[in-house]
Structures are given as C-alpha cells and as structure tokens.
Structure 1
Amino acid sequence: MAKDSAREAGGPELRALRQDEWDNWYDTLIRAFGGVPEAAEERELWDTLIGFERSVGAWDGDTCVGTAGAFDFRLTVPGGASVPAAGVTMVSVAATHRRRGVLTSMMRRQLDDVREWGRPLAILTASEPEIYGRFGYGIGSFQVSAEIDTTRVSLSVPPGTDDVRLRYAVPADVIDACEAVYARRVSGRPGMLARLPGWERLGLLDPESEREGASPLQCVLAERDGEVVGYARFHVKPEWDGSGPKGFVRLRDTHALDPAAAAALWRFLFDVDLTSTVKTYARPVDEAWQYQVSDIRRCAVRVRDALHVRLVDVGAALEARTYQAPVDVVFDVEDAFCPWNSGRWRLSGDTKGASCERTTDAADLSLSVRELGAAYLGGVSLAALGTAGRVREVRQGALAEASVGFASVVPPWLPHGF
C-alpha cells in the first residue's frame, strides 16, 4: 500500500493531511482536548503555520479519529548550531478509538517521515509527560513558573539599570524590533527556536476569551542610546478587596540583550501600579530575577518539564552539537521503536566539533535513545540518569567523563510552545 495511505490490519487508515480536510482534522483535535472552541484568530494562525504535507490523520471511514502534525524548526544545540528538527504537535486520538494502537501507528509513521525528511531530531511539548517515553522521547529541558508577591519581595538590580530607558509601545507596531532582540538571543541558549516567517504572530496572539478579565496585551521596550535592547509583553488584571488594590501582572514574554536591560524590565513589572503579584510562566530555570529577589520563598517557584527530545538519527544528532570537555565514548544504544539507531556508536568531540560513527568497539556506556534525548541539550546530567539506573556504566569513569562533556553552561530553555 502506498505510504501516503496506509492501514494497520483492522485499524484506521493513515494518510497525509489534505488541505480540504483541515477543518475536520482540526475539529477532531479540539474535541480531544475538551471541545472548547478556539478563538477564530488562534485557529487561523495554526491554519497558516501548519504544513499539511507534514501532518497525518487517522481515518475510520470518513471520520477523523487521530491527528499528528509536525512543524519544520531549527533548534539551538550546545555550541550554538541551529539544527533542523521536527516540532511534533497537535497529537490526539478520539476517545472512541482508545487502545486500538492509533497513537502508536501515527508515531511510527511520523518518525519514519522525519527520518526521510533528513531531520536528526524530533521535539515536542507533552500534554501528559508519561505518553511519549515509550516512543523514545526524553525530557530535555525544564521551565519555571512563579507567583511573586511584590508587596513583600524587592529586587536588587545590577549597575547600569538606571541607564536603560523604558517606554510603552503598541505590540504590533514594534514587532520587528522585538523579533530582532529575540533573534540575537537564539544562538546563546540551547533549546531555543529560530523563528521562521509567520511565527512572530504567535507573540501577538491575544484573544479576549483567554485574558480572564485582564487587559489586552501590553508592551514595554527597553532602550539604550536609541537602540532597543529588550522588551516585555504582559497583561494587567485589576482587582480590589476591602484593603485596596491587589491586581496582578501576567508576563507573557520578555527578552533582553544584557543584564541591566533585563533588570530594568523586571523592576518595571514589579512596580506596575495597583498590582501586588507578578505571575510568570515557562521561564528559564536560571533566569536572573531568581538571584535578585529578596525572598525566593515568597515567589512560589515551580519547575516542570518543557521540551521532550527524540534523536531520530543518533549519529547526525550527536555530531551536530559540541561538547564542553573532550569526550571519547562508545555508547551501546537501545532503540526498539527506531531500530536503525540501535547498536554501538563512538562519539568523539570537544568544543570545536564532533564525530559519531558506528563501531564494533566495546561499549563504555549502555542506555536507551530516551536517555540520549534527555541529556542532548545539556540540561539533564548523564550521571544523574546513571544514579536513576537508566544509564549503565560499562567502563569505569566513562559516565563522569561523558557527563562533563554533555553539560551546557547555560541550561536549555524553550521560549514558547507549539
């Protein structure tokens, strides 16, 4: 049976999504996530960004019962390279077709496609983290959320903060300036996505139905000597009780080119009139404000998983990044779902580059492709995975050596979902 239309025995038919099937396909996705309709502007954005040729539907007759898409991304890896990656998205199975192998069939088809496209990596954010480990995805980065009590917490800012000028701007009017700041930051942190044309609209998406009573999207620019060096996008929710105002600032997005610009923006967020809380979501685990606040306990910091990483081509993926200390290690890789990755690979690399080739040499470390995905961006230690029993050391000392090489000075961070 042709690849663009395949069916497991007795199961739904899998085929590439056609443009005239989009509404049916997308309605299936929305129903699987609870059935609450999206705002028209949000649906239109995803309609614009999704690649139909990279999306798969599972069909039971004329009924769509499963969805899976993939964006074409470039992902920053340790060393600063921008590596092609498939951004897996919009995965769902109709509740009427659970436990029939629909998800497994779509994941099988999708990873075969990603390999054919020549993408060494697949990445995703998971609605439920337990789902994707069996398909070889490992949690490769984490993110911080916080609710900062700005009536009890002060911020200590670095020298030069007062030299930064702040001004309000209409978000859509300064999109180019904000995107220029973002673009300059992408190569400096693993896990960041180079924004291709059209993706800048994601930061402006502002349906009233999702504001929960807060203001329309606001934007403040940070400038120095006439140059934009940072920005913050946010909402303000005014609230009062018998004691007075107790509104909050909900931060949507902020980026800055230097510590002083970042501090000026955070100080502004702390000082917005008639508010007592700053709520942040999906921020870097090492963001500077955590070390500038007077009382971290009153910031209600939470850490959760962010980017899940899957090595589709072990050799190409490991060669695409650099290593902060010299590594020369033979991995014995288990990958039942993508068996072309299974076997022994010799990785040799340093800060200048790497090679990773098949070998018959004795293994130094034994692990599954899931552990390689978790460690790939440098935010999860191979040594920690070893203590969890998920990496087995065959040659004494190999785990410590590889762990140092794989680590990243700057923790990985996914700046926005997809």
Structure 2
Amino acid sequence: MTTELRMLRLSEWDKWYKGISRAFGGFEGEERELYRELTEIDRSLAVWDGDDVVGSAGLFSFRMTVPGGAVVPTAGVTMVHVAATHRRRGVLRALMRRQLDDIRAAGTEPLAVLTASEPTIYGRFGYGLAARQLDADIDTSRVRLHVPPESDAVRLRLVDDAASATATCEAVYEQRVTARPGMLRHGPGWERYPLLDPPGGRHGSTPLACVLAEGEDGEVRGYARYALKSEWDEHGVATGSVLLRDVEALDPAAYGALWRYLFGIDLKPVLRVRNRPVDDAWLHMIGDDVRLCRPRWRDALFARPVEVGAALAARTYSRPVDVVLEVVDEFCPWNTGRWHLAGDESGATCERTSDPADLALSVRELSAAYLGCTALRTLGHAGLVRELREGALGAASGAFVTDLAPWLPHGF
C-alpha cells in the first residue's frame, strides 16, 4: 500500500477527527466541537491511504512559561495517532519528521511539548519528561488542615454553573501564568478547555461547580472548580468524594480558604486531587498526615528544544553558569554539536562554539532538565550526562534548578 502525508484541508476535518476518535475511543459532543474550534488547520497533518486517514499529528500555537518567567512561543504537539492497520511502516516517524521540520522552518518556536498517552514512544524523537503532576486521595475525615489565620477574612461565594464564572477565573489564572515553569497562557478558546464536562464522563458526579475566594474589598483572589459524587456504604455511611478539577489563588489566605472549603464539604470524606504541582502548598498545610493523602506522581509534560541555542537562551538560571555542552540530537541533527551557555538570573546567551566541552549529553536529557524537572546531577549519577571537566556537572546542575517545580495545568 502507498500512503500520502500532507497538510489537512478544512473540508477534511470530520474524516481526520474520526480517525483520531477511533484511535483514542471517544471525544464526541462538547469536546469534539471545542477541538474543531481550536484545530489549527494549517498546522495539522494527515496520512492518507486512499480515502482513509491512517495517521495524524497537529500543533497548537502556545505560549509557555519557562524558568525566569518569560512566556515563550511553544509548539504544542497534539492529535497524534497511527491506525492499527498501518503500524510499523514508519508513519509516526514521518509525522514527527515533518512536524519538527515545519516548526523549525517557521522559526518562531524554540520549543515543542506534548502529553503522551504512551510515554515510551517519544524519547526516540528527543522528547524528555519535563514536568510531573501530583495526584492524591485525601481522607478529609482524618487529615488535619492548617491554613493561615488571614484565611478567616476571606469571603467564599458559590457559583453553581462554573461556566458563568469563566472570565473571573481566567483573570486569576492569567496572573498566575508566569509564576511557574510549564504553565500555558490561554489564547482564544482555551479558557473553555478546563471546563470540559461531558455528561458521559461524569460517572455519577454532579456538573462542575465553582467557589470564588474574595478579599475584604470584594476582589476575587482565587477559585476552585470541582464536582461532587455521593456514595454510601451498606451501613448507610457516607463515602462520597469531592472531585477537584482545578484551584488557583493569588495569595496564601485565599488559597487556604479554598482548601478549607474543599475539606469541609458535608458527606464527602474523600477529596480526590488530580494534576497538581508536585510541590503544591497544600502538602505543607496538613502537618505529618501525608500517608492519609495517598500522594502519587505521574508524567505530565514532555518537551524538546527545536533550536537548542534559542531554547537555552530563552530561560534564566538560578546561579551564574558558564558551560560548554556537547549535545547529541540524532532526530534533529542541526542541534548536534557544542554549545556555549552563559547566563544567570538576569538572562542568558547560548551560541555554537569550537571550545572543549564540559558536559556531554543527549537532547533527551537536556529536555528533562530544561524546565527544572530533573537535576543534571541526577542524570549524571544515572550515567546519562558525562562530566568532561571536573566540577562542571555540579555547577550546571545548580544553575538549571528552579525554586518551583514545573507544572502543566491541563492537557491539550
């Protein structure tokens, strides 16, 4: 069989999306309509076998926060699939090759990021684990929460229809975007993504609700969006749960007030927390009761530099760094070579050099360290980063570290 890889046409969207839905099993109704609106046709690829779509890959034009607070143009890889009938024929490799070549040709995005349904797939294309997420199931009947005393002055206001508070919540979210590496600035339409709530996916829970935290002046300082699920055991004892979708706040008082509210909802002794930063503040508001929260982390965001020099110069460094990196990038060979990185908290430069290398690593390890998710020293202990000049690994590792862990607030 012969296949054709080409850019999607607007008239072909339904067939393209049908192939993706067949691969992932769903995405209809509200979710389908939102993806139709968000799809960037001129950045979407389809592989055709006759009239059938047998592979796909798309890009979203994001702006993502990097260490130091800069919000950098970033290509968000999405809608990647290969039909089960066309596996092991180089379809995925061809899609990844064309996609990265197109990003580079455009010349505006030094980074590419993705979320992975199968994390083992993307390492061979240079993507490294760049951010993790924290999940937890908190036994609120036993865990003691300690909030700042200023939380007592915060007024909470319920909004039954979470969508009606979208603009208010977005104003808070926008102020939080630069606070943590990995956060995405919302372009048009993306304010609706965190609100996706198809009835078929609720599994017995209520529609999304929202609670707003207001200061004494009436200004909204935070919000939490959540659903409730009522359950009872055979003895009539409530075993229901609060399903937290997201929570953001501009100060510790509002943050504490929101968590106290979530802990105190009647007849719901479990607070199910999904996708929070691995160093989220609530972990330090529960004393030593961590075991009762059943915390666990999982992969969230994978990233790779499309242009090593531009990517490393786009972020800042927590301490002065002056190092020559010998980078190997087999999939994007234009990145292979020696790069002189010099910078500090105020900015950085990264240019090609013929000077002797201080550290040697692959682009995958550079990707894992880029947002501060994994320390270069840790990768060195694993034998994945080689120190060629004594002391270079420790100095560079400390410079790449961030004071807040990177975090992707929602998928795409």
TM-score when normalising by structure 1:
0.96
Provide Cα deviations, 1:69-110, integer angstroms capped at 9, x if missing partner.
Answer: 110000100110011010001100000001001000000000
Q: Given residue 81 of structure 1, which amino acid in structure 2 is its aligned partner?
A: A
By how many angstroms is 1:204 displaced? 2.1
> SS in structure 2 opposite 1:244?
coil
User: Is contact 2:129–2:373 with CA below 8 Å preserved after alignment?
Assistant: no
Corresponding residue number in structure 2 for 1:211: 202
Could you report, residue by residue, the CA deviation over 1:4-34 in whole angstroms, capped at 9, with x for unpaired residues? xxxxxx752110011111111111111112x
Aligned partner of 1:95 among 64, 79, 84: 84
1:188 paired residue among 156, 179, 188: 179
Given the alignment, which residue of 229, 232, 237 partners 1:240?
232
Please give the secondary structure, in 2, of the residue aligned with 1:265. helix
Match of 1:285 in 2: 278
Determine helix, strand or coil for the equivalent of 2:334.
Answer: helix
C-alpha separation in 1, matches of 2:313 and 2:134: 30
Number of residue equivalences: 407
SS of the aligned residue for 2:67 comes to: coil
Aligned to 2:320: 326
Q: Distance in 2 between matches of 1:416 and 1:268?
A: 23
Summarize the alignment of residues 298-317 of structure 1 with structure 2, pairs less than 5 Å apart: 298-317=292-311
Alignment of 1:155-234 (within 5 A): 155-169=145-159, 170-224=161-215, 225-234=217-226
Alpha-carbon distance in structure 1 between the residues aligned to 2:126 and 2:383: 17
Q: What secondary structure is seen at the aligned counterpart in 2 of 1:191?
A: coil
Deviations 1:26-45 (A, max 9, x none): 11111112x3x333111000
Distance 1:340 1:397 in 2: 28
Partner Cα distance (2:346, 2:149) in 1: 34
CA-based RMSD: 0.9
Residues 121 and 312 in structure 1, CA contact (< 8 A), matched pair in contact too: yes
* Alpha-carbon shift at residue 181 of structure 1 (Å): 0.3
Structure 2 CA distance, aligned partners of 1:216 and 1:350? 47
Contact kept in structure 2, 1:11 and 1:102, CA below 8 Å: no
Q: For structure 2, which runs of at least 5 residues remain unmatched after alignment?
A: none
Give the counterpart of 2:382 among 388, 391, 396: 388
Contact 1:39 1:209 in 2 (8 A): no
1:11 and 1:39 map into 2 onto residues whose CA distance is 30
**Deviation per CA, 1:341-392, whole angstroms, max 9, x where unpaired?**
0000000001111110010000000001111111001121000011111101
Alignment-derived partner of residue 15 in structure 2: 24
Per-residue CA deviation, residues 219-265 of structure 1 (Å, 9 max, x unaligned), is 00000020000000000001112142111000001100011111111
- Aligned-partner Cα distance in 1 for 2:305–2:46: 23
Output the CA distance in 2 between the equivalents of 1:258 and 1:394. Answer: 44
Residue 338 (1) aligns with residue 332 (2): yes
Distance in 2 separating the partners of 1:244 and 1:369: 53
- For 1:76, the aligned partner's letter is T
Q: Quick one: distance in 2 between partners of 1:360 and 1:38?
A: 50
- The answer to whether the 8 A contact 1:161-1:263 is kept is yes
Partner of residue 136, structure 1: 126
Give CA deviations for 1:163-189 in whole Å, capped at 9, x if unaligned. 111010132222111001000000111
Aligned pairs for 1:48-127 (under 5 A) are: 48-118=37-107, 119-127=109-117
Check conservation: 1:230, 1:255, Cα contact below 8 A.
Answer: yes
**Secondary structure class of the residue paired with 1:245:** coil
CA-to-aligned-CA distance 1:178-213 (integer Å, 9 cap, x gap): 001000000111000000111011122211101110
Residue 402 of structure 1 deviates from its aligned partner by: 0.4
Mapped pair 1:250 → 2:239: no
Q: Equivalent residue of 1:131, what SS?
A: helix
Secondary structure of 2:144's aligned partner: coil
Separation in structure 2 between the aligned mates of residue 276 and residue 319 of structure 1, nearest angstrom: 48
The correspondence of residues 142-157 of structure 1 with structure 2, limited to 5 A, is 142-157=132-147
Match for residue 392 of structure 2? 398
| Conservation of the 8 A alpha-carbon contact between 1:24 and 1:64 | yes
| Shift of residue 154, structure 1, vs aligned partner | 1.5
TM (norm. structure 2) is 0.97
Q: Indicate the percent of aligned positions where both proteins have the same amino acid.
A: 61
Cross-structure match for 2:252: 259
Structure 1: runs of 5 or more not aligned? 1-9
Q: How far apart in 2 are the matches of 1:232 and 1:24?
A: 37
In 1, Cα distance between equivalents of 2:358 and 2:101: 29
Distance across 1 between alignment mates of 2:99 and 2:194: 28
4+ residue runs of structure 1 moved beyond 6 angstroms? Answer: none
| DSSP 3-state at the match of 2:85 | helix
Amino acid at match of 2:17: Y
Contact 2:137 2:295 in 1 (8 A): yes
Please give the alpha-carbon distance, in whole angstroms, between the structure 1 residues aligned to 2:82 and 2:275: 26
- Identify which range, 255-264 or 166-175, moves more after superposition: 166-175
Rounded Cα–Cα distance in structure 1 between residues aligned with 2:2 and 2:242: 49
